[in-house]
Chains A and B, each alone.
Chain A
């Protein structure tokens, strides 16, 4: 069965610093992987997705993630943090087994704080 693990429930960076949010996955089949962002009192917005094309995926708001099969990782990065990046970030894997397609399995989330 597929699963994702997000290391670090809270990450704090200074404005302008590198953002690195970690995600490791477990999947018995080639995975489809996603990063979503959730701002306070809002739903989830897709940042980027990996669907077996290029291993380096670029998303919105300057974020990118690299799929590394050997490390079973899909870490999210941004070269320079902005105050508006403060939010909760969720890594997810698409569960391609069972009856439902487009079913996502989410990690527990990483809350990103950006200090001025």
Chain B
């Protein structure tokens, strides 16, 4: 069973640039969620994708956008980067079930905005 993989693991951008982060979900999972974890904080929900459509969004501005592909992999795009976007971005996959809510996380992409 292949786990959740994310790329790149680390990257550095400057203010105003755009970034794309990628995630391959665990085999058998059809739902991908993205979380932002700022230094010293718990992960914050950005959005979730199910069957290639956004299925819920947290309190993040529209410059945070995403995609899910037919193979259930996903991208997170952030435009017009700000210093506060520096964080660990975590992807999590799951099977969309109401009964457990369990998520399986990747190791994250650490973004530094200068």
Contacts and interface: CB of A to CB of B under 8 A. Distances in A.
A34 B98 contact: no
Contacts of A102: 31, 33, 48, 94, 96-97, 101-103
B42 A99 contact: no
Interface stretch (A40-48, A57-65, A66-74, A75-83): A40-48
Interface in B41-64: 41-45, 47-48, 55-58
Contacts of A46: 102-104
A72 to B, nearest CB: 18
Given A101-B55, A108-B42, 8 more contacts: A41-B110, A43-B6, A96-B98, A100-B33, A100-B45, A102-B31, A102-B94, A109-B40
Interface of A: 32, 34, 36, 41-46, 49, 51, 90, 92, 94-96, 98-109
Interface of B: 4, 6, 31, 33, 40-45, 47-48, 55-58, 90, 92, 94, 96-108, 110
